[in-house]
Amino acid sequence: MLSRGLGGYATGMELRAWAESILGATTLDGKLWAPPAWTDHAPGASTRVDQPSRPPGLAFARERADLPGRLDDEAARGRLLHRFANHELLALEAMAATLLAFPEAPRAFRAGIATTLVEEQVHLRLYLGRMAALGVELGELPLNDFFWRALQGMSSPLDYVMRMALVFEQANLDYALHFEHLFREVGDGETAGVLRQVHDDEVGHVRFGLSWFHRWKDPSRSDWEVLSTALSPPLGLARAKGPSFDVEGRRKAGLGEEFIERLSRYQASKGRPPAAWVFNPSVEDELARGKPGHAPTGAARSLAADLAPLLSFLAAPDDVVVMPREPTESWAGEMAAAGCPLPETVASLDVLGTRKLGRLEPWGWGPGTTADGLLLVRDGRRYQPGLRVAADKVQHMMWKHDFSSLIHDTHVRCISGEAVTTVAEAGAALARGWVVKAPFSTAGRGRARGVISPAVEAWVEKQLALHGRLRAEPWVERVLDLSFHYDVAGGRAHPRGVVRFDTDARGQFTGTRPSRWLEQEPGAVRRWLGGEGGDPRWLQRLVVAVGEFLGGRLAALGVEGPVGVDTLVYQHDDQLVIDPIVEVNPRWTMGRVSLAIGARVHSGSRAWWRFVPVRAGRPEAPGMEMLQGRMRRGRLFTTDPGTAETVHTVLDVEPT
């Protein structure tokens, strides 16, 4: 620590001596003192300061005081200003440390730092004055040291302007403007005026830093490219904006329109170790083989790349999503305008290197799914061999048999089938008009129906060689395809919602109805699902019953996380019945994505989500009309039409 006093300086003080006096001061007056004039003839050698001296009661703390939820009383407003005052104190100390760290920097740059430091002192005095009027004293609450830690290890003046001016001070444009409005709303015009002054000064601070940034950065690279690659959590670009987004302030500071637009919709972790989301639909093939190493074909890789952006609907805003193809700016803008901003994206897990992650979140866990090489700090989930049993469609047939013996409801009729272990048994089942399914398949693939032709016989032989048994069951007159969704944790399956999905004549998935799907069904079906008017919560109770039945069984197999259960409403003896456990998918599913999309649709609108082959042409996209932050009317591409090679996914929304 430094411990230099203030005596002996009247005019013409060297910047180095002033910086030392601030960092060594043990009183607030010492932190707030500035010479009437300064010189910079003897900047001295580079000096790094581990930690500044502080007045009694103002020591650094790692904890952060909670922000008040409301500002309608003086104490709450004073506590908020306490945090702002701490930021100003940290900023002026960091600027003093910068003067000592970079004595070789251009004199004009160092003079600009000194001028900014004086303005930070003015801001601190203003905050202290308003805090006193509101009955709060600096030091009453913890004084977090994050700013200081984030600026430690600066390697150059360019590094300083990126971190201080283009992150912290740029973000303060948003914070100052946002809270100015809130203080005016509660009638505290005096504090609002202070925040307006801080905001206007910050415009100049950002402009100052930006001018030096442009002098020092590689001119062949854009501002965004340089900053997004130079900065990383916990001090990434996500910290360069606040609770609102001040476009005009950034324009006044000189930031370019493209940069402002990209930052406005940029999402990334501000410090919380993010989850890394990976779309690996080939996990079904890995489970089928029971071993890693399956290499997807070119067509499968193309489809996976097309659909990888759908993970952005499941991820938190500060998570990371792997998208093999970089999203186009136009599509990212359309998603943001529709209330669905993209989280941080990377081309592969390799890009993350040794970055700390909260967890790996694949589409599904299989023998080849690994988190090796990634530093997981919270969630150590790995592939469990029991997942293969949980994904086995023959096992599902056994589960449905057990469930049907436990539930007594005329609405419920589980389709009874059998396991076949020979080509002859499969042929006999097909001759009865049954369908034969492989134990592992998705979206209606991996099944046979009809006569036992040479091609079907070859397929059956291959599947029996792989799995030893197939699932055979009657083909029924399907009326409605649903899926029940759960999160398995603590030995229980917690319900998350019901999805209506669409299939073609072969039973293959083509899309969903993310919002108000029941209203789109024929009257007879709608009344039946509503318990014929006698029990409107019948379907919800069935969802709970299925979850209670499956929860312990899945947990015993090592299944945790998302599970989707395919469910079928069909005709039996001219009556509607439901088979609630057709197939169990122990992973993320398109139904779960549909639930996430539906949460972004306005409650007064209905929606259709379709998968459209690229060869069928690109649907028109008229844009999306918003109401109360939700999609009300229009069309949105939920995957990037600018990079799609195989399939478009399209959401249509209209008011009811």
Instruction: Render pLDDT for 217-262 as a digit per residue (tens, 0 to 9).
Output: 999 999 999 998 898 777 888 899 998 999 999 999 999 999 998 8
CA 462 from centre of chain: 41
Q: How far apart are CA 223 and CA 226, in angstroms?
A: 5
Q: How far apart are CA 602 and CA 609, in angstroms?
A: 15
Average pLDDT over residues 140-151: 90
Q: Burial level of 429, CB count in 10 A (0-12/13-18/19+)?
A: buried
Average pLDDT over residues 511-532: 90
> Which one-letter DSSP state was computed for residue 453?
-
Q: Burial level of 316, CB count in 10 A (0-12/13-18/19+)?
A: middle
Per residue in 586-626, pLDDT (tens digit) is: 999 999 999 999 999 999 999 999 999 999 998 988 889 99
**Cβ-count burial 288-298 (b if 16+ within 10 Å, e if not):** bbeeeebeeee
What domains are there in the chain, each with its CATH number? 13-264 (no CATH), 275-385 (no CATH), 389-587 (3.30.470.20)
What is the CB neighbour count within 10 angstroms for residue 426? 25
DSSP string for 46-92: ----SS----TT--EESS-PPPPS--SSHHHHHHHHHHHHHHHHHHH
Pairing of strands 375-376, 356-357: parallel
* CA dist 402 → 409, 486, 546, 553 (Å): 14, 20, 11, 12
Pairing of strands 320-322, 275-278: parallel
Half-sphere exposure of 319 (CA within 13 A, CB side): 20
Percent pLDDT > 90 in the chain is 72
Q: How far apart are CA 480 and CA 500, in angstroms?
A: 8
Q: Name which residue leads in pLDDT, 383 or 454.
A: 454
Q: Minimum mean pLDDT among 312-316, 372-376, 560-564: which range?
A: 372-376
| pLDDT at residue number 297 | 77
User: Per the structure block, which two tokens stand in for 375?
Assistant: 């530093």
* CA dist 444 → 436, 449, 484, 566 (Å): 12, 12, 17, 11
3-state class of 377 per DSSP?
coil
User: Per the structure block, which two tokens stand in for 141?
Assistant: 């609450």
Kindly tell me if the per-residue pLDDT of 370 is higher than 70.
no
Kindly tell me if the per-residue pLDDT of 324 is higher than 60.
yes
Q: What is the CA radius of gyration of the chain?
A: 31
pLDDT band at residue 216 using 50, 70 and 90 as cut-offs: very high
Per residue in 42-79, pLDDT (tens digit) is: 999 999 999 999 999 999 987 776 777 789 899 999 99
| pLDDT at residue number 374 | 47
Q: How far apart are CA 111 and CA 141, in angstroms?
A: 34
Kindly tell me if the per-residue pLDDT of 340 is higher than 60.
yes
Peptide linkage before 234 cis (omega within 30 of 0): yes
CA 141 from centre of chain: 31
Kindly tell me if the per-residue pLDDT of 7 is higher than 50.
no
* CA dist 419 → 392, 435, 437, 464 (Å): 12, 12, 10, 11
Q: What is the 3-class SS of 467-489, one letter each residue?
A: HCCEEEEECCEEEEEEEEEEEEE
pLDDT band at residue 283 using 50, 70 and 90 as cut-offs: confident
Mean pLDDT of the chain: 90
Instruction: For residue 491, report the phi and psi dihedrals to the nearest 5 degrees.
Output: 80, 10
Contact 652, 608 (CB under 8 A): yes
Q: How far apart are CA 180 and CA 192, in angstroms?
A: 4
CA 301, 304, 308, 309 dihedral sign is: positive
Contact 625, 651 (CB under 8 A): no
| pLDDT at residue number 446 | 78
Q: How far apart are CA 29 and CA 125, in angstroms?
A: 10
Contact 653, 631 (CB under 8 A): yes
pLDDT band at residue 155 using 50, 70 and 90 as cut-offs: very high
Give the CA-trace dihedral at 121, 125, 131, 137, to 10 degrees: 80
Beta bridge partners of 636: 651
Contact 523, 624 (CB under 8 A): no
**Cβ-count burial 612-627 (b if 16+ within 10 Å, e if not):** beeeeeeeebeebebe
Instruction: For residue 469, report the phi and psi dihedrals to the nearest 5 degrees.
Output: -160, 155
**Cβ-count burial 111-121 (b if 16+ within 10 Å, e if not):** ebbbebbebbb
Which one, of 559, 510, 520, 522, lies nearest residue 365 by Cα? 559
What is the CB neighbour count within 10 angstroms for residue 492? 16
Per residue in 66-118, pLDDT (tens digit) is: 777 789 899 999 999 999 999 999 999 999 999 999 999 999 999 999 999 99
What is the CB neighbour count within 10 angstroms for residue 128? 20
**Full strand arrangement of the beta sheet holding 344-346:** 344-346, 320-322, 275-278, 359-362
| pLDDT at residue number 82 | 96
Per residue in 422-446, pLDDT (tens digit) is: 999 999 999 999 999 999 875 556 7
3-state class of 612 per DSSP?
strand
Kindly tell me if the per-residue pLDDT of 147 is higher than 90.
no
pLDDT band at residue 293 using 50, 70 and 90 as cut-offs: low
Q: How far apart are CA 274 and CA 269, in angstroms?
A: 6
* CA dist 615 → 300, 331, 612, 619 (Å): 16, 20, 8, 11
Pairing of strands 143-144, 60-61: parallel
